[in-house]
Amino acid sequence: MTTPVCTSASKVAGPPAPPSYGADARYASQALYSSFSSYVRARGPVLLRTARSLTANPCDAEDLLQTALTKTYVAWERIEDHRALDGYVRRALLNTRTSQWRKRKVDEFACDELPEPETVPSPDPAEQQVLHDAMWRAVMKLPDRQRAMVVLRYYEDLSEAQTAEVLGVSVGTVKSAVSRALGKLREDPELAPVR
């Protein structure tokens, strides 16, 4: 024994009636359209508020409502209790929105300004190379002992104690020699733009 799936199919006693293509069919479709359109006119604003609660964008809410109403119109003859139409449309709204949400991977939002972080303009590599070369020429002009201390302290990044240990001098000697060397570098005319 088979149980009917559709309630309207179980009410049919005999074979289905052949489709009518005359004035009766036109009258039936006009009646269907007029009852549906009167429902949309009466309940449209309430349903639109429901759609707006499901989406952030008012235009998306209108599209969502149109899709749900299209689904409702297709099923209009199968809906037995027309007092429950609001619930049917709300369910169609929710199901449609859920389907859209599942399909959409990334939401796009229109904005006035691009959300890219502001970047500090990086210096020109050519200018950096010119400065590096000028600095190295100025270091090469220093006496051997001062040059060694400056290179160990600032190029090799050793502490004053480590520099003193490498060169076999006291920490005070490193401090005074580096101080004199930095004074000479500040006076170098090639490094004037850096100051």
The answer to whether residues 89 and 60 touch, using CB atoms and an 8 Å cutoff, is no
Query: Residue 154 corresponds to which amino acid?
Result: Y
> Residue 142 burial by CB count (10 A; 0-12/13-18/19+): exposed, middle or buried?
buried
Per residue in 67-119, pLDDT (tens digit) is: 999 998 888 888 878 788 888 888 898 888 888 777 766 666 777 777 677 77
DSSP code of 188? -
Question: Please, how many CA atoms are within 13 Å of residue 129, restricted to the half-sphere of its CB?
Answer: 3
- pLDDT of 7 reads 42
pLDDT at 6 over 50: no
The answer, yes or no, to whether residue 14 has pLDDT greater than 90, is no
pLDDT at 3: 41
Query: Model-level pTM greater than 0.75?
Result: no
Q: Residue 64: count other Cβ atoms within 10 Å of its Cβ.
A: 24
